[in-house]
Amino acid sequence: PAATLEVTDGSEDLKARRMRDDDPSLLETRPPVVTIMGHVDHGKTSLLDAIRSTNVTASEHGGITQHIGAYQVRLKDGQRVTFLDTPGHAAFSAMRARGANITDIVILVVAGDDGVMPQTIEAIKHAKAAEVPIIVAVNKIDKADANPDRVLQQVAEHGLVPEKWGGETIVVEISALQRLGIDDLLEQILLVAELEELTSRKEGRAAGTVLEANLEVGRGPVATVMVQKGQLKLGDHIVAGAAWGKVKALVDDKGRQVKVAGPSTPVQVLGFSEPPNAGDEVRVASDSGQARTLAEARAQRIRTTGHIPIAGTGARLEDLFEAIQRGETATLNVVLKADVQGSLEACTESLRKLERDDVKLAIVHRGVGGITENDVQLAKAANATIIGFNVRPDRRSRDMAEREAVEIRTYEIIYKLIEEIQSAMLGLLAPEFEEVVTGEAEVREVFRIPKIGAIAGCYVREGTITRGTKVRFLREGTIIWKGSITSLRRFKDDVREVQSGFECGIGLSDYQDLKDGDIIETYEEREIPRTA
Ligand code: GDP
């Protein structure tokens, strides 16, 4: 889907409002927004259902909630908690990649009978990268083989040291299925929310983020928006990405029509000109003219800066070659950072020119300045390679890139940059090699000769062993060493090659640990001429 990452619009009106957003006298406590993460089948959906069904009173639309991407529960004392009901890491990091930080608290669900699994670790990484507090919910404690202590041990190993072991991580034992511990979990969420001092401007024009949007028959474009500041009202002139319009209807998570929605409230918004994209920032303009102008300026910018694929499409530099070889149309996603606007334009221009039919290039994001953690997060979510021209990552973003396996390439000379990206994109034209085994010898005995080192006494079984060729040592079919033949002897003489059926001595300079029975295999890489 096409989208824009640019949320600034330069309008004085909006700038003035942003300033006011920080004015402490206008800030009020707001409900926390919670995302549930964890490994598949550990009970994320069950937990969302458990919370929803135990906290939605019958008076609220017969107890049935709409699935609009999020819901809010009201606890006995009137406090509220908002849950994003699309569990999953992709959604979380895609939102973050778009600059939208919606989540205040992450609940990490870990099944007590299964323990920490790969996606649990991934969730921890995402939450840590977002600097969002994590509450661990050990689920399925009703099961006989549940072992909460083991879970504590495992999460501690990933830096989440439980409170009862002197750490800071809150751990709650629950059974989503039997509705055990749910109230305790909600209480802990409120506690963390209080510590986090979550506030926002409650009055005035709204600002928020699109959670999801689609086109519905009979309703037109429908967007679920998380209101983050101010009050979103019927009749407001709204902009989100390239979409604009006037709020025709607001529908809450219980399916009720409402007139206003305040901070941390999810609502469906009807009235957009087209469905905006998930992660788009929602703003209220002073009139329809301003809304339309802003949206059209953004649409224009999307057209000129190119489409922006998010999450999972495209390949990184290192994967590109493989994709080309599989005969697929490959897309190289790039986050481009440069020192000044001029060089940014120059790099963009040159990179664009490298695009070909079978290798597309998508600049997911570009900007002036050093490579930041934000860039890394973005690159991670969009599966992009970061290219820096005359800029470097700082230590924190370099660490993060390493953790998240995001590739960063920096250049100081533009033609180097172009050359390297081009050779990656022209993967088809890079020479292709095939390997040919040229000789095979069996180790019979290893001698140690003073001043010379170890020499493998071998019998050449096949082909020819030639000095200087590439070699690998095999033990029971496993490669134990790779290098080249540096010394080759027949009796006491140095020779250039030895044919099959003869004995020889192969000098072992770098790897001396051979045994009889090991195989020494020599090979060559031959370039395959291209037909295309
Ligand atoms: P998700 O993939 O993380 O959303 O996991 P689900 O919520 O779909 O749950 C996966 C499976 O675990 C389902 O069969 C649930 O019924 C089961 N399950 C979830 N929570 C519990 C629990 O507390 N106890 C038991 N015994 N089973 C549970």
Buried b (16+ CB within 10 A) or exposed e, 431-450: eeeeeeebbbbebeebeeee
What is the SS3 assignment for 474?
strand
Q: Any residues with Cβ below 6 Å from ligand 1, and which?
A: 38, 40-46, 87, 139-140, 142-143, 175-177
How far, in Å, CA of 280 to CA of 240, rounded?
6
pLDDT, position 188: 96
Alpha helices in 11-85 (DSSP H): 12-21, 44-55
452, with CB counted inside 10 A (0-12, 13-18, 19+), is middle
pLDDT, position 452: 72
Kindly list the distances between the CA atom of residue 234 and the CA atoms of 208, 213, 229, 238, in Å, as whole numbers in the listed order. 15, 18, 16, 10
* CB neighbours of residue 389 within 10 Å: 21
Please give the distance, rounded to the nearest whole angstrom, from the Cα atom of residue 515 to the centre of ligand 1. 54
Report residues of the chain scoring pLDDT below 50: 1-12, 57-63, 305-314, 428-431, 530-532
Atom of ligand 1 nearest to the CA of 180: 23
Q: What is the DSSP letter of 175?
A: B
Please give the distance, rounded to the nearest whole angstrom, from the Cα atom of residue 42 to the centre of ligand 1. 6
What is the SS3 assignment for 257?
strand
**Tens digit of each residue's pLDDT (9 = 90 or more) over 476-528:** 766 777 788 888 999 888 899 999 999 999 987 767 778 888 989 898 877 65
Q: Which of 177, 184, 185 to mutate to test the pocket of ligand 1 (most atoms within 8 A of CB)?
A: 177
pTM above 0.85, yes or no: no
Please give the distance, rounded to the nearest whole angstrom, from the Cα atom of residue 44 to the centre of ligand 1. 7
**Tens digit of each residue's pLDDT (9 = 90 or more) over 212-239:** 887 777 788 889 999 999 999 999 999 9
Torsion, Cα 86 92 94 98, to 10 degrees, reads: 110
User: Which residue's CA is the nearest one to ligand 1's atom 6?
Assistant: 43
Phi then psi dihedrals of residue 341, to 5 deg = -55, -40
Atom of ligand 1 nearest to the CA of 143: 26
* CB neighbours of residue 248 within 10 Å: 13
How far, in Å, CA of 269 to CA of 259, rounded?
11
Q: Which of 41, 46, 106 to mutate to test the pocket of ligand 1 (most atoms within 8 A of CB)?
A: 46
How far, in Å, CA of 138 to CA of 126, rounded?
19
Please give the distance, rounded to the nearest whole angstrom, from the Cα atom of residue 43 to the centre of ligand 1. 4
User: Which residue's CA is the nearest one to ligand 1's atom 22?
Assistant: 140
User: Which residue's CA is the nearest one to ligand 1's atom 19?
Assistant: 43
Q: Which of 36, 40, 41 to mutate to test the pocket of ligand 1 (most atoms within 8 A of CB)?
A: 41
Q: Where are the beta strands (DSSP E) in 314-354?
A: 330-338
User: Which residue's CA is the nearest one to ligand 1's atom 25?
Assistant: 140
